[in-house]
Amino acid sequence: MSHFLKDKAAIAGIGLTEFSKKSGVSELSLAAQATLAACEDAGLPPSEIDGFVSYTLDSTDEIELARTVGAGDLKLFTKVNYGGGAAVGTILHAVMAVATGVADNVICYRAMNGRSGQRMGQGISGQIVSSDLVHWSWYMPYGMLTPGSWIAMIANKYMHHYGVTAEDLGRVAISQRHYAQSNPRSFFHGKPLTMEDYLASKMIADPLRLYDFCQETDGGCAILVTSAERARDLQQKPAIIRGVVQASTRGQEQMTSYYRDELDSLPEMEMAARLVYAQSGLGPDDINAACLYDAFTSEVIMQLESFGFCGRGEGKDMVRDGALDIDGRLPNNTHGGLLSEAYIHGMNSIAEGARLVRGTSTSQPKGVEHVLVSSGVGVPTGALILARD
């Protein structure tokens, strides 16, 4: 049934602003610059854009962006709920629109002054009563006010159960930092990381240290989705969208799904894996590279299991074998990821997925046919498989 979407659409353009800790411009400006860059990358004028999709956490409304870049009449304007979990969801909504003829050329965007403006996890309070605020209120009165504190509870249980060590988390951080050395856009370009540096970094939310955490970034990223047919006529090699799904499971909360049967796995990622493999007709053996969502290092190891690259509890063994490195089984986050390149809520990892399919990553592994990209972990999420045409 869901196979209807397979190969119907493609990523035809990617656009990024400069990444910084203080952009000095509005989030609308970042969104507009990223959108224009995506259109120029594809060779399609902004006047042909007829759809915009973003995240509910994004402050830039679709019509503000449309006016700013001189887009045409809009047939699709929508936002996918929350933050990092929405990344792949925006692509799904764009693909559904393109595949059904609702819209022709859709920009998915995320632009944020994530360091100089509103930072993530600063607490929520006030007199407004909504189901979302009531959700957070089971945690915030206890001082659980940050994403690190919410994720650490699951990471600790998982690590305890399967014997995952601090060094294993460090291996993820170091692998991605190594990729960042080839990527001039990376915040950590020119700043490699050793295991000594990693282990000496400040403990933030035990067992998570400073370098287990992603960046906070000012920047924007836009992805242009159009039909596979149209993409073939544009100037870049299309990244064909072979599978794209959203996933949220029974008992799902944002970040704090502490009441499900199991605490040491990622049910929403296992669901995303099941769906995206079914839709694409592919399996883990077909995936040559990945951008597994990496707000925290522990999430990368857990996802190796969720997506079937190894069995439960074996993620650490893959990491110890160097699987994530460029000559490993699954080169992962070759741009440096959210840990080392920038934190644009996963949109920059979708851009890297397209580069890997084009063969233009700054750390390009050989023979990439299929790339897996995932969205936020421990939240309603999604998965995307991009393929070479």
Active-site residues, by number, are: 293, 343
Residues 262-321 touching other proteins, rule: CB under 8 A, are 263
Mark the segment that binds other proteins (CB under 8 A) among 75-83, 107-115, 136-144, 293-301.
136-144
Q: Which is nearer to other proteins, 262 or 321 (CB)?
A: 262
Distance in angstroms between the alpha carbons of the first and the last residue of the chain: 23
| Residues with Cβ within 8 Å of residue 11, at least 6 apart in sequence | 91, 223, 224, 225, 231, 238, 239, 241, 350, 353, 354, 386
Binding segment (CB under 8 A) for other proteins, from list 36-44, 139-147, 342-350, 355-363: 139-147
Backbone φ and ψ of 256, nearest 5°? -125, 50
User: Residue 207 interacts with other proteins (CB under 8 A)?
Assistant: yes
Strand-pair category, 218-227 with 208-209: unpaired
257 binds other proteins (CB under 8 A): no
202 φ, ψ (degrees, to nearest 5):
-60, 135
Rounded to an integer, what distance in angstroms lies between the CA atom of residue 126 and that of residue 105?
Answer: 40
Return the number of other C-beta atoms located less than 10 Å from residue 195's C-beta.
13
Q: Which residues contact 39 (CB under 8 A, 6 or more apart)?
A: 13, 15, 45, 46, 49, 69, 107, 224
Distance CA 21, CA 219 (A): 9
126/184 with CB nearer other proteins: 126
Q: Is 366 in the site for other proteins (CB under 8 A)?
A: no
**Among 258, 286, 313, 328, which residue sits at the site for other proteins (rule: CB under 8 A)?**
258
- When asked if residue 118 is in the footprint of other proteins (CB under 8 A), the reply is no
Q: Of these, 21, 135, 237, 274, which contacts other proteins (CB under 8 A)?
A: 135
Three-class SS state of 95: helix
| Piece of the chain touching other proteins by CB under 8 A; list 56-64, 254-262, 319-327, 330-338 | 254-262
Least distance to other proteins from the beta carbon of 316, Å? 18
Count of residues engaged in binding other proteins, rule: CB under 8 A: 42
Q: Which is nearer to other proteins, 157 or 274 (CB)?
A: 157
| Residues 372 and 269: beta-carbon distance below 8 Å | no
Where does this chain touch other proteins (CB under 8 A) — which range of 30-38, 80-88, 255-263, 285-293?
255-263
Instruction: Tell me how far apart the alpha carbons of residues 117 and 225 are, in angstroms, rounded to a whole number.
Output: 29
Q: Which two tokens stand for residue 101?
A: 């003829």
- Out of 90, 113, 156, 175, the only residue in the binding site for other proteins (CB under 8 A) is 156
State in angstroms the smallest separation of the CB of 131 from other proteins: 7
Stretch that binds other proteins, among 151-159, 266-274, 282-290, 348-356 (CB under 8 A): 151-159
Kindly tell me the burial class for residue 160, based on how many C-beta atoms sit within 10 Å of its own C-beta (0-12, 13-18, 19 or more): exposed
Which residue lies nearer to other proteins by CB, 156 or 280? 156
Question: Does 129 interact with other proteins (rule: CB under 8 A)?
Answer: yes
Take residue 106 and report the two structure tokens written for it. 């859709």
- Which residues contact residue 79 at a Cβ distance below 8 angstroms, ignoring those fewer than 6 apart? 53, 54, 55, 56, 58, 62, 86
Residue 75 or 119 with smaller CB distance to other proteins:
119
Q: Which of 22, 75, 160, 312 lies at the binding interface for other proteins (CB under 8 A)?
A: 160
The closest of 193, 229, 230 to 210, measured between CA atoms, is 193
Shortest CB 156 distance to other proteins, Å:
5
| Binding of residue 133 to other proteins (CB under 8 A) | yes
Binding marks (x or -) toward other proteins, 213..252, rule CB under 8 A? -------------------------------------x--
| Choice from 73, 259, 285, 327 touching other proteins (CB under 8 A) | 259
157 in contact with other proteins (CB under 8 A): yes
Q: Rounded to the nearest 10 degrees, what angle do helices 27-42 and 62-69 cross at?
A: 60
With CB under 8 A as the contact rule, which of the stretches 141-149, 311-319, 354-362, 379-387 interacts with other proteins? Answer: 141-149
Which helix (H) or strand (E) covers residue 195, if one does?
helix 195-200
Q: Give the nearer residue to other proteins in terms of CB position, either 152 or 350.
A: 152
Residues forming the site for other proteins (CB under 8 A): 123-131, 133-135, 137-146, 149, 152-157, 160, 202-208, 250, 256, 258-259, 263
